[in-house]
Amino acid sequence: MNKALLTLAIAFVLARGSVFSAQAQTLSSLRIGDDVSRLATLGTPAATDRYKSFVVQKWNLSNGNELSVTTDGAGKIVYLESDWGGRAEVTECDLRDLRFGATTLSDLRRRFGSNGFAFERREGVIDIADGVVMVNSYEAGTSVVTFFTKIVGAPAKSGIGGPVGDRAKLDAISIADAGYAKSEWGERVYDPKYKKIEWK
């Protein structure tokens, strides 16, 4: 193989790898950095709001789940969030082998090897009307992926019903642009065992 063909082959392989990596970090086939025009594939949003200089749109998906998309002033996606609809049955999510309403925080910790990281200005445990939500973030590629796991009923700190990690069930997943995440929630606070994850 001559030098020109070898260079072309290497460039092709690298390009394929970067495309696969980008496509892997998606929610409902959307990824961070996509143009707002891509949202047309979802149809008319159920709601549209403004947050600071951003536009937030929400869709009710056919499987009962909800998708929220935040775009910046340049019309680029900076935040995606997929929320479980809370139906009695569990539903698949965009990350292989994870299921809303079934995958636990303990499962996530085992899969990714750590508890992830938190942010200085974002609570790691959020009290809600019917329980608590645990918030665990990881870096995947250049984006921040966050898993929201929910415990219904007894407070997380009570220990009632077993370890917190085994009771907290996957309720939502988000992907954020790293710059957006930092501006909204501040610096990262890492678990001592933290390591970057692969979205696949």
DSSP 53-71: TEEEEEEE-TTS-EEEEEE
CA distances from 146 to 24, 95, 113, 178, 183 (A): 15, 12, 15, 12, 16
pTM: 0.84
Mean of pLDDT values over 31-60: 96
Bridge partner residues of 55 (DSSP): 50, 71
pLDDT category of residue 36 using cuts at 50, 70 and 90: very high
> Are the C-beta atoms of 155 and 187 separated by less than 8 Å?
no
Phi, psi (degrees; rounded to nearest 5) at 48:
-135, 130
Largest CA distance in the chain: 68
pLDDT (tens digit, 9 = 90+) per residue, 109-160?
A: 999 999 999 999 999 999 988 889 999 999 999 999 999 999 987 665 556 6
Name the more confident of 59 and 199.
59
User: What span, in angstroms and rounded, lies between the C-alpha atoms of 60 and 147?
Assistant: 20
Which residue in the block uniquely carries the two structure tokens 């390591």? Answer: 195
